[in-house]
């Protein structure tokens, strides 16, 4: 495999690994090595919502400056998040993705790794415009957050929204014939929004038609409380799953991804 | 036997024609007859949002009680609208569609809201029942606090464009996969004394920062641009029914405008 593209939220971002240990502890780099990818294009962004993932995915595929992906892995962020467009310009920086190790072929989102981005002679290699979006997870505007929580408090509404975003990615990647797989972050206590059928929820009658879930890897994830989560003692100081959790998740995930890739 | 399926909001619903004029005044029946379809399956609902249109489309395709459509025409409702899942069970449990008349074939359309007697209808092949009680429309049944929250989140035209584009993409993807031909118009363009306010899906919004993202969301190959049945559309004749909806002449002019375009698409 040449290029492996990964999208997700802070669980897939390299920042806390670089800050508290080393980036090689991220499951994303385990995947890169074990799947034999020459390049890892890690476009994960802390605080991302499912709709952010699609925005970054479509924007990248429209202009794949680091190369077309041979495989896409999506770690869907929690379904209780969303992002909204605001015409006011915010202080949030645009996302600047850079190659941090040419030898490893590693591309990731630069500024959130605890140190200021290293400026090169030219412009950043990939910039995702971000300053006119407000995230309900990280956004500064409490008015949006309150309004969002009023509407997204219902599990059925979250189900509908996540299924729509998953359907958009599935159809987009399916149309481009790019192989892919994904996990969800809403799986805990043996139950997930995507991993299970929800016939007890009337909204499911509609939601089940929105995505086919053929490439969902069910019942696992990198989030806290997932089946491979190694417990709070393993967490980094910022509360994200630590070295063992990432190792466990990668060990479970890699054979399933190999199976999909080799089909 | 051929079926034309129409989805939309009150602009496409037959009710106000029946009440204030004649059912055949509706553009939906005119295009059915002009295009030579046997049956019209009109699933338009007053107060519908783009999200609701897709919910009805998917639900109908999964259970095509009156037959699979040979062509689908969507009149996308205003992008300022949405619907949200609330869990608040209201008394109007479901909407009932059934055969409501003849016009060179059968007309199937919205009949009434049904409540506790819903079980009398769901298994009857003569009826198509849309469960609706747990959904709240921002134009009809939503609570005040949810309405405020909705406005906060969708007041920006760019956000409206994203929401509409996602819904259009969902419908396009489904119908493309099923090889069902279709076309659609939007309700967000208007002509007034100040000039033309272009539709959200039109190219005139290239100046919006978000346009580059939204243009990837839907291909818009079957959008019929710069027209619509809404108030202040280019074919609006200012002939409102008593309830404020466009009247007989507006519907006739709209039908005359889109019929040749639809014929071309069907060909």
Residue pair A40/A8 in contact (Cβ under 8 Å)? The answer is: no
3-state secondary structure B1-34: CCEEEEECCCCCCCHHHHHHCCHHHCHHHHHHHH
Q: Is the pLDDT confidence value at B198 over 50?
A: yes
Mutate to test the interface with A, among B131, B153, B158, B163 (most CBs of A within 10 A): B153
Look at residue B146 and tell me if it is in a domain.
Answer: no
Q: Is the pLDDT confidence value at B28 over 70?
A: yes
CB-hemisphere CA count at 13 Å for A96? Answer: 16
Total count of domains within chain B:
1
Cα–Cα distance, B182 to B34 (Å, whole number): 16
Cα–Cα distance, B77 to A163 (Å, whole number): 22
Give the pairing of strands B106-114 and B83-85: unpaired
Cα–Cα distance, B65 to B227 (Å, whole number): 31
Look at residue B52 and tell me if it is in a domain.
Answer: yes
Using pLDDT thresholds of 50, 70 and 90, give the confidence band for residue B145.
Answer: confident
Cα–Cα distance, B52 to B63 (Å, whole number): 16
- Poorest-confidence range of A115-124, B145-154, B167-176, B192-201? A115-124
Low-confidence ranges of chain A (pLDDT < 50): 102, 112-117, 119-123
Secondary structure (3-state) at A150: helix
| B213 chain-A contacts, CB cut-off 8 A | 55, 58-59
Which of A143, A148, A156 has the CB atom closest to B85's CB atom? A156
**Bigger pLDDT: B264 or B88?**
B264
Look at residue B211 and tell me if it is in a domain.
Answer: yes
| A167 chain-B contacts, CB cut-off 8 A | 170, 173
Q: Does the beta carbon of A132 lie under 8 angstroms from any beta carbon of chain B?
A: yes
Look at residue B134 and tell me if it is in a domain.
Answer: no
Per-residue pLDDT, averaged over B174-190, amounts to: 95
| A160 chain-B contacts, CB cut-off 8 A | 85
Per-residue pLDDT, averaged over B114-129, amounts to: 82
- If one counts every other C-beta atom within 10 angstroms of the C-beta of residue A260, the result is 15
Surface-to-core class of residue B37, CB atoms within 10 Å of its CB (0-12 exposed, 13-18 middle, 19+ buried): buried
CA-closest candidate to residue B49, choices B74, B83, B1, B97 = B83
Q: Give ipTM to 2 decimals.
A: 0.89
Which of A55, A87, A164 has the CB atom closest to B170's CB atom? A164
User: Both tokens of residue A28?
Assistant: 């994303």
Which of B58, B152, B162 has the CB atom closest to A147's CB atom? B152
Which of A59, A147, A160 has the CB atom closest to B85's CB atom? A160
Q: Does the beta carbon of B212 lie under 8 angstroms from any beta carbon of chain A?
A: yes
Domains of chain A: 3-262 (3.40.50.1110)
Surface-to-core class of residue A245, CB atoms within 10 Å of its CB (0-12 exposed, 13-18 middle, 19+ buried): buried
Q: Check B149 against A151: CB less than 8 A apart.
A: yes
Look at residue B66 and tell me if it is in a domain.
Answer: yes
Look at residue B22 and tell me if it is in a domain.
Answer: yes
Q: Kindly identify which residue of chain A lies nearest to residue B215, measuring between CA atoms.
A: A58
| Res B92: pLDDT | 59
Which of B55, B153, B170 has the CB atom closest to A148's CB atom? B153
- CATH assignment at residue B241: 3.40.50.1110
The answer for B 10-49 residues in CB contact with A (under 8 A) is none
User: What one-character DSSP code corresponds to residue A140?
Assistant: S
| A202 chain-B contacts, CB cut-off 8 A | 131, 134
Q: Check A62 against B216: CB less than 8 A apart.
A: yes
Distance between A2 CA and the closest CA of chain B, angstroms: 25
What's the predicted TM-score (pTM) here?
Answer: 0.91
pLDDT tens string B125-137 = 889 988 776 677 6
Per-residue pLDDT, averaged over B114-120, amounts to: 77
User: Both tokens of residue A199?
Assistant: 């016939």
Cα–Cα distance, A157 to B135 (Å, whole number): 10
Which of A62, A168, A206 has the CB atom closest to B55's CB atom? A206
Distance between A165 CA and the closest CA of chain B, angstroms: 9
Q: Alpha-carbon torsion B73, B76, B77, B83, what sign?
A: positive
| Res B108: pLDDT | 94
Look at residue B147 and tell me if it is in a domain.
Answer: no
Q: Check A171 against B212: CB less than 8 A apart.
A: no
Look at residue B177 and tell me if it is in a domain.
Answer: yes
Give the pairing of strands A71-76 and A180-184: parallel
Distance between B88 CA and the closest CA of chain A, angstroms: 11
Surface-to-core class of residue B239, CB atoms within 10 Å of its CB (0-12 exposed, 13-18 middle, 19+ buried): middle
Q: What is the mean pLDDT of chain B?
A: 89
Cα–Cα distance, A37 to A32 (Å, whole number): 5
Q: Kindly identify which residue of chain B lies nearest to residue A57, measuring between CA atoms.
A: B213
Cα–Cα distance, B103 to B107 (Å, whole number): 7
Domain hosting residue B239, numbered range: 3-82+99-110+158-266
| Res A21: pLDDT | 93
- Poorest-confidence range of A134-148, A196-210, B45-59, B90-104? A134-148
Distance between A56 CA and the closest CA of chain B, angstroms: 9
- How is chain A split among helix, strand and coil, in percent rounded to 5? 35, 15, 50
Q: Is the pLDDT confidence value at B174 over 90?
A: yes
Per-residue pLDDT, averaged over B185-193, amounts to: 90
Residue pair A135/A146 in contact (Cβ under 8 Å)? The answer is: no
CB-hemisphere CA count at 13 Å for B166? Answer: 26
Distance between B58 CA and the closest CA of chain A, angstroms: 7
């Amino acid at each position: 495999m040449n290029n492996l593209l990964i999208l997700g939220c802070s669980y897939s971002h390299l920042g806390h690994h670089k800050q508290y240990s080393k980036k090689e502890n991220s499951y994303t780099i385990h995947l890169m090595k074990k799947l034999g990818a020459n390049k890892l294009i890690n476009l994960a962004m802390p605080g991302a919502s499912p709709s952010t993932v699609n925005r970054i995915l479509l924007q990248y595929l429209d202009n794949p400056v680091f190369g077309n992906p041979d495989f896409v892995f999506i770690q869907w962020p929690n379904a209780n998040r969303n992002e909204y467009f605001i015409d006011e310009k915010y202080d949030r920086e645009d996302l600047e993705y850079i190659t941090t190790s040419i030898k490893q072929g590693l591309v990731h989102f630069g500024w959130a790794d605890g140190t200021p981005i290293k400026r090169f002679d030219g412009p950043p290699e990939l910039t995702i415009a971000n300053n006119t979006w407000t995230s309900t997870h990280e956004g500064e505007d409490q008015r949006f957050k309150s309004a969002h929580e009023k509407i997204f408090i219902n599990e059925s509404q979250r189900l509908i929204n996540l299924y729509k975003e998953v359907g958009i990615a599935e159809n987009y990647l399916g149309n481009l014939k790019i192989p892919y797989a994904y996990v969800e972050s809403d799986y805990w206590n043996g139950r997930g929004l995507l991993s299970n059928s929800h016939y007890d929820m009337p909204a499911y009658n509609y939601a089940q038609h929105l995505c086919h879930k053929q490439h969902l890897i069910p019942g696992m994830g990198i989030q806290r409380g997932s089946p491979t989560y190694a417990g709070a003692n393993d967490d980094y100081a910022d509360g994200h799953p630590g070295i063992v959790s990432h190792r466990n998740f990668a060990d479970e995930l890699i054979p399933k991804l190999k199976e999909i890739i080799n089909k | 036997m051929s079926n034309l399926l129409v989805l939309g909001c009150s602009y496409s619903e037959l009710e106000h024609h029946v009440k204030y004029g004649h059912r055949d005044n509706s553009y939906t029946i005119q295009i059915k007859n002009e295009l030579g379809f046997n049956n019209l399956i009109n699933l338009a609902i007053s107060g519908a949002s783009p999200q609701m249109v897709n919910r009805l489309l998917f639900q109908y395709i999964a259970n095509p009680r009156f037959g699979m459509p040979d062509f689908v025409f969507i009149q996308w409702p205003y992008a300022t609208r949405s619907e949200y899942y609330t869990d608040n069970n209201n008394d109007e449990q479901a909407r009932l569609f059934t055969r409501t008349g003849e016009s060179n074939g059968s007309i199937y359309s919205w009949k009434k809201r049904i409540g506790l007697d819903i079980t009398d209808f769901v298994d009857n092949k003569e009826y198509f029942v849309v469960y609706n009680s747990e959904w709240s429309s921002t134009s009809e049944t939503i609570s005040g606090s949810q309405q405020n929250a909705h406005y906060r989140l969708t007041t920006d035209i760019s956000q409206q464009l994203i929401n509409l584009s996602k819904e259009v993409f969902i419908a396009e993807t489904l119908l493309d996969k099923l090889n069902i031909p279709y076309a659609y118009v939007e309700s967000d363009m208007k002509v007034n004394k100040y000039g033309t306010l272009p539709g959200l899906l039109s190219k005139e919004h290239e100046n919006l920062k978000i346009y580059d993202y939204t243009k990837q969301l839907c291909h818009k190959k079957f959008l019929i641009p710069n027209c619509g049945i809404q108030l202040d559309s280019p074919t609006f004749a200012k002939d409102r029914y008593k309830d404020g909806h466009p009247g007989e002449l507006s519907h006739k002019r709209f039908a005359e405008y889109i019929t040749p375009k639809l014929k071309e698409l069907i060909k």
